Amino acid sequence: MVLIFAPIPLFMYHVGSLYDFQKFVDEKGIITFLKGSNEISDYNFGKFIKYQFIFFCTGAIVTIVLMPVRMIISFWRIINTKDKV
């Protein structure tokens, strides 16, 4: 049962981290990922890094939300169908 409630602080941490990353990108800019280079290819690579981080962070947040639901379903199956497990 602990694993059902453990993702709540993890969820808050990940949402806070995503917010901090967005704040960093808004304040410092994308080009700071690459130590101040001003080439257009570096800017495009910085955008790529930003989008990849946002993609994986939102994927982690969705997984954190769905994990307790899946665990509750699993517990429900184990408790209610003892002869099939």
pLDDT score of 85 more than 80: no
Dist CA 17 CA 72 (whole Å): 27
pLDDT digits (tens, 9 = 90+) for 4-34: 888 999 999 999 999 999 999 999 888 777 7
Q: How far apart are the first and last CA of the chain?
A: 19
Taking phi first (over 0 means left), then psi (-120 to 50 degrees means alpha), and beta for anything else, what does residue 5 get? alpha
Domain boundaries, the chain: 8-79
Rounded to two decimals, the pTM is 0.76
How distant, in Å, are the alpha carbons of 6, 19, 41, 66, 77 from that of 9? 7, 15, 38, 14, 26
Higher-confidence residue of 40 and 80: namely: 80
